[in-house]
Structure 1
């Protein structure tokens, strides 16, 4: 029977993945109704969610430092915690880059990539919800495979968006700006895959 302290680790993982989902949802709403004048306030709102994620990360690290026995290896707890926190950070950084580069309108390619990021986040959330039961779960390995598939889809969209950006030409500053935003969107998918990789390694080591 799992100890209460064991369950608290997995609960924190879920809370962190839920923050990533909320951050993605807020960003999608912002970009779907894009308004330059509202960006400073929206950045603050998004940062509040990022700070919520940081609080969960700090709580996780405090528990790892305090507990004599942990449900899985400490390095795996730390690695997964960092990846989950990075998902939220990377989503926030999309809007930060849009603001920094003074982007005035959002491309269809960006929205398409952002949709895939959201699908990755949903699968990561499903993954960590099942994580405490990884020895018996019927869905956790399917979620890992699906995250890998979504990351590959994100790569394909990134390549197409990048090529479209450079073949169309246009304002060089705008090309540079969108290059950075597309990279950041692709990075979000990568980080979701990294989180899934940590979970997969835990499964391999413990079954």
Structure 2
């Protein structure tokens, strides 16, 4: 297999991870500068990112069907591409929940969560940039540990946010709605960690 063909898959992993990072930055900006009158428009914008990421994933899988030899096993390419795609999907899910629940104002814990998600996605992008060197890289393990650490921060933030919601919230509907949103915010961090876990499994399998 040519080096150019090898790089195609590794490059696409990076591009798909960058879509997730773009979606995360948009989510963070939207929560920080929240404007309910533009929420539908912002949802369309983040859906556009998610759609572009899907297109890139399907393009890669279509190419995979035609390849005779691949740089890593086919099922590993599928595993990683689906894991990366899930990151962007979960970020879009947060925006969808804000929209369908007609959120009028953003709780501070949600802003903190969005910032953490951006950090997770940025680290994931760096991990995917380094992934092409997985057989000899000295940076990959540290990036995986960093993602696990960030996900742990997400767990703690989730617990704190849910505690505040249930001790300080006086409106039962608000509690129900924000419980769901916090769950989806945590899923974003989990999706990044799951991608790191998938990458680790692929590395162990192919070295």
What TM-score, normalized to structure 2? 0.97
User: What stretches of structure 2 of length at least 5 have no aligned partner?
Assistant: none
Task: Tell me what 1:136 maps to.
Answer: 136
Equivalent in the alignment of 2:203: 203
Contact 2:147 2:193 in 1 (8 A): yes
1:205–1:186: structure 2 CA closer, same or farther, 3 Å change rule?
same
Partners of 2:111 and 2:181 in 1: CA distance: 11
1:113-158 superposed Cα distances (whole Å, 9 cap, x missing partner): 1111111101110100011111121211100011011111101100
Aligned equivalent of 1:43: 43
- Could you give the per-residue CA deviations for residues 33-78 of structure 1, whole angstroms, max 9, x where no partner exists? 1111111111111111111101111011112211111111111111
How large is the RMSD of aligned CA atoms in angstroms?
1.2
- C-alpha change, 1:105 and 1:52, in structure 2 (3 Å) is same
Q: Kindly indicate whether the alpha-carbon contact (under 8 Å) linking 1:26 and 1:46 is maintained by their aligned counterparts in 2.
A: yes
Alignment partners' CA distance in 1, 2:202 and 2:38: 43
Distance in 2 between residues matched to 1:190 and 1:137, nearest whole Å: 24
Q: Given the two structures, how large is their TM-score scaled by the length of structure 1?
A: 0.97
* Other-structure match for 2:184: 184
Q: How many residues align?
A: 207
Extract unaligned runs of 5+ from structure 1: none
Map 1:50-89; keep pairs closer than 5 Å: 50-89=50-89
